[in-house]
Amino acid sequence: MVVLDGKETSAKIRAELAEQVKALKADGGKVPHLAAILVGEDGASRTYVNAKVRDCEEVGFGSTLIKLPAETTQEGLLKAINKLNNDEDVDGYIVQLPLPKHIDETAVLMAVDPKKDVDGFHPQNVGRMTLGLPTYIPATPMGIVELLRRYEVPTEGKDCVVIGRSHIVGSPMSILLSQHNYPGNCTVTLCHSRTKNLEEICRKADIIVAALGRPGFVTADMVKEGACVIDVGITRVDDASKKSGFRLLGDVDFHAVASKCSFITPVPGGVGPMTRAALMMNTMKVTELGQA
Protein backbone atom coordinates (compact mmCIF):
# COMPACT_ATOMS: atom_id res chain seq x y z
CA MET A 1 0.00 0.00 0.00
CA VAL A 2 1.35 3.40 -1.04
CA VAL A 3 0.16 6.57 0.65
CA LEU A 4 -0.18 9.36 -1.91
CA ASP A 5 1.50 12.15 0.00
CA GLY A 6 -0.03 15.43 -1.13
CA LYS A 7 1.93 17.47 1.36
CA GLU A 8 5.30 16.28 0.09
CA THR A 9 4.26 16.42 -3.56
CA SER A 10 2.85 19.93 -3.27
CA ALA A 11 6.11 21.09 -1.69
CA LYS A 12 7.99 19.76 -4.71
CA ILE A 13 5.61 21.59 -7.04
CA ARG A 14 6.08 24.86 -5.17
CA ALA A 15 9.86 24.43 -5.40
CA GLU A 16 9.55 23.88 -9.16
CA LEU A 17 7.35 26.95 -9.53
CA ALA A 18 9.81 29.02 -7.51
CA GLU A 19 12.54 28.10 -10.01
CA GLN A 20 10.26 29.11 -12.88
CA VAL A 21 9.64 32.47 -11.20
CA LYS A 22 13.40 33.00 -10.86
CA ALA A 23 13.79 32.28 -14.57
CA LEU A 24 11.00 34.72 -15.41
CA LYS A 25 12.67 37.44 -13.37
CA ALA A 26 16.03 36.74 -14.98
CA ASP A 27 14.45 37.14 -18.41
CA GLY A 28 12.67 40.34 -17.40
CA GLY A 29 9.26 38.66 -17.56
CA LYS A 30 6.22 39.46 -15.49
CA VAL A 31 5.92 37.62 -12.17
CA PRO A 32 2.44 36.07 -11.75
CA HIS A 33 0.08 37.90 -9.39
CA LEU A 34 -2.75 36.00 -7.71
CA ALA A 35 -5.61 37.77 -5.92
CA ALA A 36 -8.34 36.34 -3.72
CA ILE A 37 -11.66 37.73 -2.54
CA LEU A 38 -12.90 36.50 0.82
CA VAL A 39 -16.43 37.43 1.86
CA GLY A 40 -17.26 36.97 5.53
CA GLU A 41 -15.43 35.19 8.31
CA ASP A 42 -15.96 31.49 7.59
CA GLY A 43 -13.18 29.79 9.56
CA ALA A 44 -12.29 27.13 7.00
CA SER A 45 -12.31 29.63 4.13
CA ARG A 46 -10.15 32.09 6.06
CA THR A 47 -7.61 29.39 6.89
CA TYR A 48 -7.53 28.22 3.29
CA VAL A 49 -7.10 31.68 1.79
CA ASN A 50 -4.32 32.54 4.25
CA ALA A 51 -2.54 29.35 3.21
CA LYS A 52 -2.80 30.41 -0.43
CA VAL A 53 -1.21 33.75 0.44
CA ARG A 54 1.68 31.92 2.12
CA ASP A 55 2.07 29.70 -0.94
CA CYS A 56 2.38 32.79 -3.13
CA GLU A 57 5.09 34.19 -0.88
CA GLU A 58 7.01 30.91 -0.95
CA VAL A 59 6.84 30.60 -4.73
CA GLY A 60 7.55 34.26 -5.38
CA PHE A 61 4.18 35.25 -6.83
CA GLY A 62 2.62 38.60 -6.10
CA SER A 63 -0.56 38.26 -4.03
CA THR A 64 -3.49 40.39 -2.95
CA LEU A 65 -6.15 39.44 -0.42
CA ILE A 66 -9.40 41.39 -0.54
CA LYS A 67 -11.51 40.89 2.59
CA LEU A 68 -15.15 41.93 2.43
CA PRO A 69 -17.65 41.79 5.34
CA ALA A 70 -20.32 39.09 5.38
CA GLU A 71 -23.03 41.71 4.81
CA THR A 72 -21.47 42.80 1.51
CA THR A 73 -24.16 43.05 -1.15
CA GLN A 74 -24.04 41.14 -4.39
CA GLU A 75 -23.60 44.45 -6.19
CA GLY A 76 -20.66 45.30 -3.97
CA LEU A 77 -18.99 41.96 -4.66
CA LEU A 78 -19.55 42.33 -8.41
CA LYS A 79 -17.87 45.75 -8.28
CA ALA A 80 -14.81 44.18 -6.61
CA ILE A 81 -14.76 41.48 -9.29
CA ASN A 82 -15.00 44.04 -12.08
CA LYS A 83 -12.09 45.94 -10.58
CA LEU A 84 -9.93 42.80 -10.64
CA ASN A 85 -11.05 42.02 -14.20
CA ASN A 86 -9.62 45.37 -15.26
CA ASP A 87 -6.48 45.34 -13.10
CA GLU A 88 -3.63 44.63 -15.51
CA ASP A 89 -1.26 43.72 -12.69
CA VAL A 90 -3.49 40.85 -11.47
CA ASP A 91 -3.00 37.78 -13.65
CA GLY A 92 -5.54 35.53 -11.96
CA TYR A 93 -7.89 35.56 -9.01
CA ILE A 94 -10.38 33.49 -7.08
CA VAL A 95 -13.59 34.23 -5.24
CA GLN A 96 -13.47 31.97 -2.20
CA LEU A 97 -16.50 29.70 -1.82
CA PRO A 98 -18.91 29.28 -0.15
CA LEU A 99 -20.43 32.75 -0.32
CA PRO A 100 -23.05 34.17 2.08
CA LYS A 101 -26.53 32.88 1.25
CA HIS A 102 -27.81 36.26 0.03
CA ILE A 103 -25.33 36.25 -2.86
CA ASP A 104 -26.04 34.39 -6.11
CA GLU A 105 -22.97 32.20 -6.56
CA THR A 106 -23.65 31.56 -10.25
CA ALA A 107 -23.93 35.27 -11.04
CA VAL A 108 -20.62 35.86 -9.29
CA LEU A 109 -18.77 33.08 -11.12
CA MET A 110 -20.17 34.26 -14.45
CA ALA A 111 -18.80 37.76 -13.76
CA VAL A 112 -15.21 36.54 -13.44
CA ASP A 113 -13.09 37.17 -16.55
CA PRO A 114 -12.47 33.66 -17.99
CA LYS A 115 -8.86 34.66 -18.74
CA LYS A 116 -8.28 35.30 -15.02
CA ASP A 117 -10.44 32.43 -13.75
CA VAL A 118 -7.69 30.33 -12.18
CA ASP A 119 -10.36 28.36 -10.27
CA GLY A 120 -11.59 27.05 -13.63
CA PHE A 121 -15.27 27.52 -12.76
CA HIS A 122 -16.40 29.82 -15.59
CA PRO A 123 -18.51 27.99 -18.26
CA GLN A 124 -16.01 28.97 -20.94
CA ASN A 125 -13.20 27.19 -19.09
CA VAL A 126 -15.43 24.22 -18.22
CA GLY A 127 -16.24 23.87 -21.92
CA ARG A 128 -12.59 24.02 -22.93
CA MET A 129 -11.75 21.38 -20.30
CA THR A 130 -14.50 19.13 -21.67
CA LEU A 131 -13.04 19.45 -25.17
CA GLY A 132 -9.50 18.84 -23.93
CA LEU A 133 -8.34 22.33 -24.90
CA PRO A 134 -5.74 24.36 -22.94
CA THR A 135 -7.53 26.00 -20.04
CA TYR A 136 -7.74 26.35 -16.28
CA ILE A 137 -8.89 23.10 -14.70
CA PRO A 138 -10.65 23.29 -11.31
CA ALA A 139 -7.93 23.07 -8.70
CA THR A 140 -9.02 19.97 -6.78
CA PRO A 141 -9.46 17.69 -9.83
CA MET A 142 -6.26 19.10 -11.31
CA GLY A 143 -4.41 18.42 -8.07
CA ILE A 144 -5.68 14.83 -7.99
CA VAL A 145 -4.63 14.22 -11.59
CA GLU A 146 -1.18 15.63 -10.85
CA LEU A 147 -0.85 13.39 -7.78
CA LEU A 148 -1.81 10.31 -9.83
CA ARG A 149 0.71 11.31 -12.51
CA ARG A 150 3.62 11.84 -10.16
CA TYR A 151 3.03 8.53 -8.37
CA GLU A 152 2.55 6.78 -11.73
CA VAL A 153 -0.78 5.29 -10.66
CA PRO A 154 -2.10 3.04 -13.47
CA THR A 155 -5.36 4.41 -14.90
CA GLU A 156 -5.69 3.13 -18.48
CA GLY A 157 -8.59 0.72 -18.84
CA LYS A 158 -9.42 0.93 -15.14
CA ASP A 159 -12.95 1.07 -13.77
CA CYS A 160 -13.31 4.30 -11.82
CA VAL A 161 -16.15 5.33 -9.53
CA VAL A 162 -16.54 9.01 -8.62
CA ILE A 163 -18.87 9.56 -5.66
CA GLY A 164 -20.29 13.07 -5.80
CA ARG A 165 -21.36 15.17 -8.80
CA SER A 166 -20.44 18.72 -7.78
CA HIS A 167 -19.27 21.15 -10.44
CA ILE A 168 -16.15 21.78 -8.36
CA VAL A 169 -14.91 18.18 -8.00
CA GLY A 170 -17.07 15.24 -9.02
CA SER A 171 -18.21 16.26 -12.48
CA PRO A 172 -14.84 17.56 -13.75
CA MET A 173 -13.07 14.59 -12.18
CA SER A 174 -15.24 12.18 -14.14
CA ILE A 175 -14.46 14.07 -17.37
CA LEU A 176 -10.70 14.20 -16.80
CA LEU A 177 -10.34 10.52 -15.94
CA SER A 178 -12.35 9.44 -18.98
CA GLN A 179 -10.34 11.54 -21.46
CA HIS A 180 -7.79 10.07 -23.84
CA ASN A 181 -4.84 11.06 -21.73
CA TYR A 182 -2.72 10.03 -18.78
CA PRO A 183 -3.93 9.98 -16.12
CA GLY A 184 -7.14 8.99 -17.87
CA ASN A 185 -8.58 6.40 -20.25
CA CYS A 186 -10.73 5.13 -17.39
CA THR A 187 -14.25 3.79 -17.67
CA VAL A 188 -15.97 6.17 -15.26
CA THR A 189 -19.17 5.76 -13.29
CA LEU A 190 -20.40 9.00 -11.69
CA CYS A 191 -22.44 8.25 -8.57
CA HIS A 192 -24.57 10.52 -6.39
CA SER A 193 -27.37 10.59 -3.82
CA ARG A 194 -29.84 8.93 -6.22
CA THR A 195 -27.51 6.11 -7.24
CA LYS A 196 -28.84 2.64 -6.45
CA ASN A 197 -26.59 -0.18 -5.23
CA LEU A 198 -23.70 2.22 -4.60
CA GLU A 199 -21.84 -0.25 -2.39
CA GLU A 200 -21.98 -2.91 -5.10
CA ILE A 201 -20.77 -0.44 -7.75
CA CYS A 202 -17.84 0.62 -5.57
CA ARG A 203 -16.78 -2.97 -4.93
CA LYS A 204 -16.08 -3.36 -8.66
CA ALA A 205 -13.98 -0.21 -8.91
CA ASP A 206 -10.23 -0.13 -9.50
CA ILE A 207 -10.23 3.57 -8.54
CA ILE A 208 -12.61 5.33 -6.14
CA VAL A 209 -12.77 9.10 -5.84
CA ALA A 210 -14.86 10.01 -2.79
CA ALA A 211 -16.09 13.61 -2.88
CA LEU A 212 -19.39 13.88 -1.04
CA GLY A 213 -18.54 15.48 2.30
CA ARG A 214 -19.72 12.66 4.60
CA PRO A 215 -17.05 11.55 7.09
CA GLY A 216 -16.16 7.86 6.94
CA PHE A 217 -18.72 7.12 4.23
CA VAL A 218 -16.47 4.73 2.28
CA THR A 219 -15.94 1.64 4.43
CA ALA A 220 -13.77 -1.43 3.97
CA ASP A 221 -16.63 -3.56 2.63
CA MET A 222 -17.07 -1.10 -0.26
CA VAL A 223 -13.46 -1.42 -1.48
CA LYS A 224 -11.96 -4.32 -3.39
CA GLU A 225 -8.42 -5.56 -2.83
CA GLY A 226 -5.84 -3.52 -4.69
CA ALA A 227 -8.04 -0.50 -5.35
CA CYS A 228 -6.75 3.07 -5.48
CA VAL A 229 -8.79 5.32 -3.18
CA ILE A 230 -8.76 9.12 -3.45
CA ASP A 231 -10.36 10.88 -0.48
CA VAL A 232 -11.50 14.42 -1.33
CA GLY A 233 -13.66 14.91 1.77
CA ILE A 234 -12.56 17.18 4.58
CA THR A 235 -14.95 17.78 7.46
CA ARG A 236 -14.20 19.61 10.69
CA VAL A 237 -15.27 17.70 13.80
CA ASP A 238 -15.07 19.20 17.28
CA ASP A 239 -12.23 17.70 19.33
CA ALA A 240 -11.31 19.30 22.64
CA SER A 241 -8.07 17.30 22.77
CA LYS A 242 -6.70 19.23 19.80
CA LYS A 243 -5.09 22.64 20.11
CA SER A 244 -7.26 23.87 17.23
CA GLY A 245 -10.40 22.55 18.91
CA PHE A 246 -11.22 20.30 15.95
CA ARG A 247 -9.91 17.45 13.83
CA LEU A 248 -10.30 16.77 10.14
CA LEU A 249 -12.03 13.69 8.79
CA GLY A 250 -12.22 12.45 5.21
CA ASP A 251 -14.99 10.65 3.34
CA VAL A 252 -13.04 7.40 3.67
CA ASP A 253 -12.56 5.30 6.81
CA PHE A 254 -8.80 5.40 6.27
CA HIS A 255 -7.69 2.95 8.97
CA ALA A 256 -10.17 0.30 7.87
CA VAL A 257 -9.66 0.78 4.13
CA ALA A 258 -5.91 1.44 3.76
CA SER A 259 -4.75 -2.17 4.14
CA LYS A 260 -6.86 -3.19 1.12
CA CYS A 261 -5.51 -0.46 -1.17
CA SER A 262 -2.70 -0.25 -3.68
CA PHE A 263 -2.77 3.55 -3.30
CA ILE A 264 -4.66 5.83 -0.93
CA THR A 265 -4.67 9.52 0.04
CA PRO A 266 -4.70 10.54 3.71
CA VAL A 267 -6.78 13.29 5.33
CA PRO A 268 -5.26 15.69 6.09
CA GLY A 269 -2.18 15.78 3.87
CA GLY A 270 -3.56 14.28 0.70
CA VAL A 271 -5.82 16.11 -1.74
CA GLY A 272 -5.95 19.40 0.22
CA PRO A 273 -2.32 20.47 -0.34
CA MET A 274 -2.59 19.40 -3.98
CA THR A 275 -5.57 21.69 -4.48
CA ARG A 276 -3.49 24.65 -3.35
CA ALA A 277 -0.57 23.53 -5.53
CA ALA A 278 -2.86 23.26 -8.56
CA LEU A 279 -4.05 26.82 -8.00
CA MET A 280 -0.42 27.96 -8.11
CA MET A 281 0.09 25.95 -11.31
CA ASN A 282 -2.96 27.58 -12.90
CA THR A 283 -1.65 31.01 -11.93
CA MET A 284 1.66 30.26 -13.61
CA LYS A 285 -0.27 29.04 -16.65
CA VAL A 286 -1.75 32.55 -17.06
CA THR A 287 1.72 33.89 -17.72
CA GLU A 288 2.75 30.93 -19.89
CA LEU A 289 -0.30 31.26 -22.13
CA GLY A 290 -0.02 35.03 -22.30
CA GLN A 291 -3.65 35.34 -21.30
CA ALA A 292 -3.35 38.00 -18.62
* Catalytic-residue membership of 119: yes
Looking at 55, 113, 119, 206, which residue is catalytic?
A: 119
User: How far is the C-alpha of 7 from the C-alpha of 28, rounded, in Å?
Assistant: 31
Q: How many CB atoms lie within 10 A of CB 163?
A: 28
Q: Is 101 a catalytic residue?
A: no
* Burial class, 106, CB count within 10 angstroms (exposed 0-12 / middle 13-18 / buried 19+): exposed
- Residue 253 among the catalytic residues: no
Q: How far is Cα 108 from Cα 94, in angstroms, rounded to an integer? A: 11
- Among 52, 115, 158, 285, which one carries the catalytic annotation? 52
SS3 274: helix
SS (H, E, C) 128-197: HHHCCCCCCCCHHHHHHHHHHHHCCCCCCCCEEEEECCCCCCHHHHHHHHHCCCCCCCCEEEEECCCCCC
Catalytic residue among 5, 55, 96, 113: 96
Angstrom distance (rounded) from CA 17 to CA 58: 9
> Rg for the chain (alpha carbons), in Å?
19
- Enumerate the active-site residues: 52, 96, 119
